[in-house]
Chains A and B, each alone.
Chain A
Amino acid sequence: MPSQPPLPPLLTSYLSDQRESSLTLVSSILGATSNWLVLRYLYAALGTSSSSNISIGTDELSNGAKRKVVLVSFLRGWEFWRAEAKRLGLDLARLADKQQFAFVDGLSELFNSSSSASSAPINTGSTVRTTLPLRSQPGAVPGRGPPSAVTPGRPGTESLRQREPGAVKKLHFTGHGIAALDAMEKDVISEINRQKSSMTDGDEMLLILDQPDFLLAATGASMGVGATEMAEWVTGLQQQVHATVLTMAADSPLIHNASTSGNQLSTPIETEHAAFAIGMAHRAWSVMQLRTLETGAARDVSGVLRISRGGGWTAEAEDNLGERELLYYIQRDGGVRVFGRGES
């Protein structure tokens, strides 16, 4: 099968145009995960202009503005994103050093901040160095704050700061309820501000929150986190950036069990998740829904992508958000083909 362009042509307009202070909701299910779409968002924002843009070698958009991305991932580690982005031709480690990209790790030490604190930053640091043979380290951090504060991991405190180049910010959930969420929000915002420090006028910052719904599921009411608190948490982050992309699970047990029509009693994890998901969909400017084929698996179709307007869509801007339903197929080499039903 021929190799595919990194951005499927049918999706380019959806992926690259983010409206000011908009929220895009990407919903996924067990058999149709959203990682590939997140990677396409990354590429649309950060990809160098080899394919679409005219100016080769610069990272500028057509209007001269740069894009920056902060990716907060709760279910996947840095290694995964780095390796998969590399398949698209996107060197995240290098972009991180150029202050165009920042990764916030919500996987490694979210709940256990004790032991493995030492190993992971060293790993990522070394991979950065091997992929960056051309740059000497001091020159790579021009617009950065105090570069001296390299504290070796102080486990247990949620303000674990590592300003070593390439070190990945790790989130910690310590404490209870809103206080714990606030601490995490502060951590993410500090990362956003660090990126902002090198921003010029017209630059746009995209925030990608990868499955923050896990946070809700894994804490729940007994730890003082509910759908309302999560929605506020997202809002707090949304205010800091140009646009937000949020992925979450929308499996039927997590959405439909909450309704009272079924004979089954719903558990708090289901009701809270449904409330959070529906709340987000109402606030979203657009909703990208990923699911598998209803008719069963097929060899040349991975799943269905439905693009629809969210509750926050406003009609006054006649934008290019056409609602449509597409099929997609992920090849073995990681390339994605997106096509309409009946086409091939």
Chain B
Amino acid sequence: MSFRKRNIGLSAGVDRAAVPNASTQPAPLESSPGIRPSPDDGRPTTSTGAPSLDNLLAGHAGLPMGKLLLIEENGTTDFAGALLRYYAAEGVVQEQKIHVVGVPEQWGRSLPGLIGTAESLDEKRSDKRKDEKMKIAWRYERLGEFGAGVAGSRDVPNPTPAGEQETTAKPAFCHAFDLTKRLTHPGITNMSFIPLVPSRESPFTSILKQLQTSISSSASNTMHRIVIPSLLNPTIYPPNACQPEYVLQFFHSLKALLSANTARVTAMITLPLSLFPRSSGLVRWIELLSDGVIELCPFPHSADATATSGAATSVEEPPQGMLKTHRLPVLHERGGGSDQNVGQDWAFILSRRRFEIKPFSLPPADGDTEAQDASASSGMPKKSDLEF
């Protein structure tokens, strides 16, 4: 008996006291809207607003909190800007705090509108019917598709479902938006716009100060999104902004800010590659300082897109460009390489209602039955012939 008593007094008592402390901390995070644990390792993630981009991010089915995603774009198009708007709009709908750097408030008014469920996803009608039949799968519906890559973006949830009562109970992780509509949501007042103040010193110092104060002064359960459109674009940023000491120190400090508040901040930044090519040392350092690096290479619009991709059928829209993943959050921090999504050739399609990323000119993976169904109408056998 004395043995037992001593045991309690010495170590187990301390242990018991310590364990609840550790376990209470992450609990409020998971309960906040728009945050869910990663199916890969359980870390909290948030949606980028584009389901297929979520699925691309190394099995986490979302952007892990505390990470910085850099989206680079070649040419003069603004696909990256569309992704950024999805990201901001998703944050608005999830009532997160959005910090937009360097652009006027006009930018915030052009966020894509939230769309109702039924008429918005008409092309997925067949999938939905299948969902109703397979009730077992409903709770896995919004998790990332591990074996299947990102081809079938089935997990566009229904914000205001008419017929499916299961989804009404759960807060949606990711929403669908329509680029032609304008977002009207009470949460839109949660956006703050940080202007660039002309100064002889680094133009980023004041930005960083404002970000720091507003993040540290907010409640500890407020989620933040930092949105930086078209970084270093000379129409927005002063010429001295692209001096390495300014921009790299800004990235480093931003990284420090994210890692200090790792549970509640994410950031997405776009960079015009035509002005700042990837072959330059500065851009490479910016990439090295980012957690995820994605490059968009839009096709020249004159090119015959249907001829370029075997996957394009009369039903499907032709891809508008290639997407390259140079670095993915968490995965590459650990060393990289083991994800099935890495090294694939991706194509992206921006339509009115979604930004879709799918494998370029290859048929969908075998396990992905619904994507096969979707594209089974034509092209499938021909593609596999072409492969060899």
User: Which residues of A are at the interface with B, using a C-beta cutoff of 8 A?
Assistant: 30-33, 35-36, 74-77, 79-80, 84, 107-112, 114-116, 119-120, 129-130, 133-134, 214, 217-220, 222-223, 249, 251, 253-254, 257, 264, 266-270, 273, 292, 296-303, 328-332, 334, 336
Contact = CB atoms under 8 A, between A and B. Distances in A.
Contacts of B289: 75, 214
Contacts of B31: none
Contacts of A115: 209, 212-213, 216
Contacts of B255: 75, 107
Contacts of A84: 334
A297 B280 contact: no
A80 B67 CA distance: 12
Given A129-B18, A297-B343, A330-B336, A30 B11 contact: no
B269 to A, nearest CB: 16
Given A108-B259, A115-B216, A330 B243 contact: no
Nearest to B21: A130
Nearest to B257: A116
A152 B309 CA distance: 62
Judged by DSSP, the binding face of A is loop
Contact of B256 (A109, A220, A300): A109
B167 to A, nearest CB: 30
B245 A303 contact: no
Nearest to B287: A30
Contacts of B245: 218-220, 222-223
Contact-residue size bin, chain B (C-beta under 8 Å from the other chain): 35 or more
Contact of A116 (B18, B22, B216, B285): B216
A268 B282 CA distance: 10
A301 B336 CA distance: 9
In order of increasing CB-CB distance, the 6 nearest A-B pairs are A297-B343, A302-B337, A36-B335, A270-B281, A330-B335, A218-B248
B278 A253 contact: yes
Nearest to A126: B21
A145 B50 CA distance: 54
B308 interface: no
Nearest to A328: B335
A239 B265 CA distance: 40
Given A330-B334, A330-B337, 16 more contacts: A75-B252, A76-B333, A79-B259, A108-B260, A110-B252, A111-B249, A115-B213, A217-B285, A222-B245, A249-B285, A253-B283, A266-B281, A267-B281, A292-B336, A297-B337, A331-B338
A130 B337 contact: no
A215 to B, nearest CB: 10
Given A129-B18, A133-B15, A35 B333 contact: yes
A33 B344 CA distance: 19
B333 A214 contact: no
Contacts of A303: 335-337
Contacts of A218: 244-245, 248-249, 252, 285
Contacts of A36: 334-335
Nearest to A274: B281
A97 B278 CA distance: 43
Contacts of B40: 332
Contacts of B212: 112, 114-116
Nearest to A262: B279
B326 A30 contact: yes
Nearest to B345: A296
B172 interface: no
Pick from B18, B282, B285 the residue with the most CB of A within 10 Å.
Answer: B285
A264 to B, nearest CB: 7
B382 interface: no
B233 interface: no
Contacts of A269: 244, 281-282, 285
B14 interface: yes
B118 interface: no
A266 B344 CA distance: 32
A331 B332 CA distance: 12
A32 B335 contact: yes
A30 B253 contact: no
B22 A130 contact: yes
A279 to B, nearest CB: 17
Contacts of B18: 129-130, 133
Contacts of A112: 208, 212, 253, 256
Contacts of B369: none
Given A79-B262, A111-B253, A30 B216 contact: no
B252 A332 contact: no
A32 B285 contact: no
